[in-house]
Amino acid sequence: MTRAIVINQLGGPEVLQLGERDPGRPGPGQIRVRQAAAGLNFIDVYFRTGLYKSAEMPFVPGKEGAGTVEEAGEGVFSVAVGDRVAYSGANGTYADAIVVEADKVAKLPAGVETDVAAGAMLKGMTAEYLLRRTFEVGPGTTILFHAAAGGVGLIAGQWAKHLGATVIGTAGSAEKCELALAHGYDHVINYNEEDFVARVAEITDGRKCDVVYDSVGRDTFPKSLDCLRRRGLWVTFGQSSGKLPDIDLAILNQKGSLFATRPSLFGYTATREEFEDSANSLFDVIALGAVKILIGQRYPLEKAADAHRDLEARRTTGTTIITMA
């Protein structure tokens, strides 16, 4: 038996209870990992509250983490016992040990630290697919990225700048704006003090943006659409402020023949080839120094509920990890 955060009923952060669970032995194609840390993400909140449905109850939350392989099942050749690995899209990473499919892990190169990888996989690979595949960002592209000081936002700002884009962000305080400006953003708008639609128009001389990346949801809709130029793309990939209302698609026509998409990381990393390409692209920009992962907060496993409270209250910046030691 090992320690784990076990959810026995849906609800607020208080349902995150420290308990014990047997992670089991790895079967064919699986590995067992002794975890160093797990990453904290809003998707964990969605599963805790029931907005997203878990396959079973009780369950251990968490979708990303990193650690050391302690046992490998039959037919595993990509990694070996003692290797450092990281993963996104796993289940139950709020635990000391986890069994995970070997084809959904990436072996860590020497230039990437284990705790950094624990909090970078889901957020970093999200930034990768958003900037390189949902919309191919490059020189001449102007983007707006909401929640610029969040975990995905700080990675995306640096990566988009590395790709040559003009990068505009939004954040909710002067401190968060300064943080985003230090991580690749050319302009950051404090949405509590300025109308971000008017400010985007001013920054771009009325041309507006090619693409808006929106993980906020209810609070930024439909104003995000007003930041797009004709035939621009609205990428809604989260809903930290609440669920979006039902949308009449005619609004896309009314606001300039816009495009809209609701992607997810799992839709972009369904195959081993896609997963490896995304992970290796992330490791490359980290090793190059083009993207630096800011671990803003660390919580021990037994304080997972506090981590959720701070995340939902928007008291976190950058990447947050839950540590097992």
Express as a percent the part of the chain with pLDDT over 90: 89
pLDDT tens string 193-250: 999 999 999 999 999 999 999 999 899 999 999 999 999 999 999 888 888 889 999 9
Specify the pLDDT at position 314.
86
Condensed to tens digits (0 to 9), the pLDDT of residues 131-178 reads 999 999 999 999 999 999 999 999 999 999 999 999 999 999 999 999
Nearest one of 157, 158, 155 to 169, comparing CA atoms: 157
User: Which part of the chain has CATH 3.90.180.10?
Assistant: 2-121+271-323
* pLDDT score at 76: 96
CATH 3.90.180.10 fits 2-121+271-323, yes or no: yes
The confidence score (pLDDT) of residue 133 equals: 98
CATH architecture of 139-262: 3-Layer(aba) Sandwich (3.40)
> Which residues of the chain form CATH 3.40.50.720?
139-262
Predicted confidence (pLDDT) per residue in 24-56, tens digit: 999 999 999 999 999 999 899 999 999 888 878
Question: Residue 194 CB: number of other CB atoms within 10 A?
Answer: 13
Average per-residue pLDDT for the chain: 95
Q: What is the enclosing helix (H) or strand (E) of 309?
A: helix 304-312
* pTM reported for the whole predicted model: 0.88
pLDDT at 325 over 90: no
Residue 270 half-sphere exposure toward CB, CA atoms < 13 A:
4
**How far apart, in whole angstroms, are the C-alpha atoms of residue 161 and residue 245?**
32
| Residues recorded for the chain | 325
Give me the pLDDT at residue 54, please.
81
Residue 265 neighbours by CB under 8 Å, 6+ apart: 88, 89, 122, 125, 126, 129
pLDDT of residue 87: 94
